[in-house]
Structure formats: structure tokens, C-alpha cells
Chains A and B, each alone.
Chain A
Amino acid sequence: MIPCAVAEKFSAFFGSRPVLSEISLSFSEKSVTALLGRSGSGKTTLLRSLNGLNDHFAGFRSTGDLSVRLGGILRPVRGPDALPASELRRRVGMVFQNPNPLPLSIRRNMTLPLSLVAGTEGEEAEGVMREAFVKVGLWPEVSHRLDRPAAELSGGQQQRLCLARAVALKPEILLLDEPTASLDYLAAAGVEELILSLKEQYSIIMVSHSFAQARRVADTLVFLSDGRVSAALPVSDVPLGADIGPFLERYL
């Protein structure tokens, strides 16, 4: 297995409070890894460590090593050998729990990051935008109203816009933080299908609030409990039926 990200004795703290304790783990490339655990178990912090987004918050500190494979080279996320934050975050894309379009038009939500971060402008940016919208199945719904505010879209459409925005930047790794938590059943099913179709091209690491969902879309499940990895196993090793209760009890 080629890893897309590797953690070695990685610990994270907010102030003096430890959130992750000595995590050692590798995430495989071109597959979906789901992070599961109770609230406060450190799933989101681990996810945000992978694109350095925790540095956005005051009091964040980490020890140990955490690296991501970009362009075939394993690079640390922090420290002197790390990529600049903006480069790292372009190549390790992220989608949040709540759809978060920028308070701009639908078109601008796509073309602004393309021009500022990837240096893609004009016709070329329009092409990349169309391609990304087609990929997430949003093109027919937005093609006639690209200059309307993105806030006018429904929750599910906004979340697909956010996915398209992340994908348009041509990331190598996609981080999804409970991407369906704020969506209704149908919209969530649409996003799940999308995740399955994207895993051919991207290494996907997602936090999921639902064990059933994780089992549907993920190849590997990682269970976190109190900031430690309690289990990491392929989805085929997860028991079915009545054995599921004691299994979850043990790892969550």
C-alpha cells in the first residue's frame, strides 16, 4: 500500500489540553478512509492537521511527525521542510460540515480561488469551473444562473458547490469533514455517490458521523477514542448484523 499521509507519534494540543495523543497511522492512496469516533475524540483536529488548518486557531501546538504525499514526495505538514500553507491547502483540499460558499456569486466562488491560488484565469478558469461542476453533477442546475449569489442555492447544492470548488483546484488529497451532516437524506445520498466516484482520482479522508455511511463509502475505517486510535481496519473486517453492537462498544 502506498500511503497518502503518515502520522508518527503525532500529538496535538489546544493550549495545554491534549486533543490527539501519539497517533501513528498511515492513510492509503486513492481510497476512502473514514474517521469515526464520539464527539471530542479528535477526528476533526486530525483532519485539520493534514492541511495545517489548525494553525488558524490560537493556541494550537503539535509534536511528532505528520506528512502528506504530494507529487509523489512525502512532505511534513509543519516545520522548515513543509510547503507554504497556501500551497499545502490547495493540494490538500477540504470540504466542511456546513456548506460554506463565500458571500459571492456562484461563478466567483469558483473563479476566485482558481485565480488567487492556482493562477488560472479567464477562459481557462471558466473551462475548469464547468468541468468541476459537471463532475459533481451541478452543471445543469447552475449553468443558467452563474452570476446569482451562491447563498441562493439549496443546502445540498451548496455542498456540491463546495466539493466542486475543492476539486477545481486539482488537489491530490481531499479532506471531508462530515460532508453530509447538514444535508437531508436525498442530498446526502447524492454526495455519498459523488465521494464514491471521486475516489478513483483522489485520496479521500473523511470524518463521518454515521457508521452506516462510513461502511457504504469507505475502504478503511479508523476509530478514534479520547484522542487515540483504537482501531484501523479494512471495511471487510467489520462484522455484520448482531455483532455490530459489541464491536462499536469496544472501539468508540
Chain B
Amino acid sequence: MPPPRRSQLWIRSLALGVGGVLASVFAFIMFSALEALARGRGLSLFGNLWSPGAGQFGIMPMIAASLLLSLSALALGWTVSLGCCCALHLRTCPRLSKLLMGILRFMTAMPTVVYGFAAVFLLVPLIRSALGGSGFCWFTAGVVLALQGVPTMTLVMDGAMASLEKETGITSAALGFTPLQHLVWVVLPSMKPWLFSAAVLGFGRAMGDTLIPTMLAGNAPQFPASPLDSVRTLTAHISLVLSSDMGGGEHLSLMLSGGILLTISLLVSLTVRYISFRGRRR
């Protein structure tokens, strides 16, 4: 039954209001980014050097760091998530599956600052003593970001896997497939769209996270030559500069960083929508 006319009107105007607020935020950031480009001597903001003392405000190292860090965190986190999801569904040890699910649920509710804080005291010293360097580097931040993304990605995969298993489990069993054969040959090939949308979501989260890279990646505005080098992501850059400078070239670079981040998350969100739309149509 559709809601009565008056509440329909209310719902529509509320939706319009919220949509308008979001659109204005989007427009504000995009205009600021364009203005930053116009006022920041053209494309010099896309330069390779960040050296405010010398009047160089290039954010290219930060863009590279954001992409490298989130892609590497995604590669690690996605693989672990797929493993977790398969382990949950093979039920070789139901008690362990239950425990794993409990931990994953708990992890989704944990703020990222907790991951960062724990890693500063546990992972950073370990990496420092085992691999050298300061321990605050691309590698450390990548591992923790991957860990942070695992629950979300696992839960997305788990939902799809559960419904596919329910649909096809008894058929596969009646044909004589073992649970592992069922998973590998029937379920996984059918859940490609969900595996992809889990990856896109995980990428979006890794890209947007601020605290973990700020606390663990070392924040040096440079192109990394090895995973043990210190890097600064766009998000970390915004939070660091915003907490110390309020004007000039530094500030302009923030607007551009914001614009780039927003564009990436918009693309991510549109991709997820497109995939789930296609998945539903199938």
C-alpha cells in the first residue's frame, strides 16, 4: 500500500532537501578545486614537489601514495576476505566459523583510530626490528588498512555466497559434489559481480581512510621507492595541512585534494551501483 499523499509529500521534500545539501557540498568542493587550479598558477599544483618553503605545492606524490596504498591494501585485504568467506562456508570446523564471524562483526564496529593506535605499539616496532627503517611506512599502513577492510568485504561476499549456496547446495550434493567442489566450481564462478563489488567497496574505504595512513605511513611527501618508504596520502595531507595552515598555496592544494578524493569516491559509488543493478537484472 502506498503511503498517504501528505506523507508522500513530506518524504519527497525531505529527500529533495538532503539531496540538495549533498549536491551543494559536492558543488562547493568541485568549484573550490577548480578555483584552486585557476589561482595556483595553473597545473603547478599537480607538480611532483611539495616544498611550501620554496613555494612548491605539488600534490602528485600524495595522489600516487593514495593510489598505491589503497590498491596494495585492497590486494591483500580482498584475498584475505575471500579466504575468510570460504572458511566460513566450508564449515570444516563450525565452532571456528562462528568465532571468525563474531570477530568480523566486532571488527566492523571498531573505529579506525583503534587499529592505528594498536598498530603503533604492536606492528610498527615489529616491522622496524624485522625489516629496518622507522616502521612508519607504506607497508605498515597497507597491512593495517587491509585488515580494516576485511570485515566489510567478507560480509559482502558472505551474503552473496550464502544465497548462492542455499540455491544450489542441494543440487550439487545430489550430483555427488563435495562441499569444496561445490564452492570452487559452482558458487565462486557465479558470484563474480559480488566479488568485484566487494573489491570496489574495499578500495573506496581504503582510499578514504584518514587516520590509519596519518598514524602509520610516516607522512613524507615523496614517491616511495620501496614498501618500507614513508608516504603521505591525500587524506593524511588534508588533515595535516588543515591542522596547521589556513591560507596560501598549502590551502589551495587541499581544495584540489578534496576534489580528487570526491571524484574517486563518486566513481566508486557509481561503479557499485552499476554492478548491483546488473546483478539484480541477472
Contacts and interface: CB of A to CB of B under 8 A. Distances in A.
Interface of A: 51, 53, 56, 85-90, 93-94, 96, 100, 102-104, 112-113, 116-117, 165-166, 169
User: Helix, strand, loop or mixed for chain A's interface?
Assistant: helix
A117 B170 CA distance: 15
Given A56-B169, A56-B170, A96-B171, A102 B186 contact: yes
15 contacts: A53-B170, A53-B173, A56-B170, A85-B173, A86-B178, A87-B176, A88-B176, A102-B168, A102-B186, A112-B185, A113-B175, A113-B176, A113-B177, A166-B175, A169-B175
A116 B183 CA distance: 13
B189 A104 contact: yes
B172 interface: yes
Interface of B: 164, 167-178, 181, 185-186, 189-190
Contacts of A87: 176
B226 to A, nearest CB: 44
Contacts of B177: 86, 113, 116-117
B168 A89 contact: no
Nearest to A55: B173
Nearest to B164: A103
B174 A86 contact: no
Given A102-B172, A112-B185, 14 more contacts: A51-B174, A53-B170, A53-B174, A56-B170, A85-B176, A96-B170, A100-B171, A103-B190, A104-B190, A112-B186, A113-B176, A116-B177, A116-B181, A169-B175
Contact of B176 (A100, A103, A104, A117): A117
With most chain A CB atoms within 10 A of its CB, the pick from B164, B168, B169, B173 is: B173
A53 B173 CA distance: 7
A113 B181 CA distance: 10
Given A102-B168, A103-B168, A89 B185 contact: no
With most chain B CB atoms within 10 A of its CB, the pick from A53, A102, A166 is: A102
B176 A169 contact: yes
A90 B173 CA distance: 10
Nearest to A149: B282
A91 to B, nearest CB: 9
A24 B190 CA distance: 43
A165 B190 contact: no
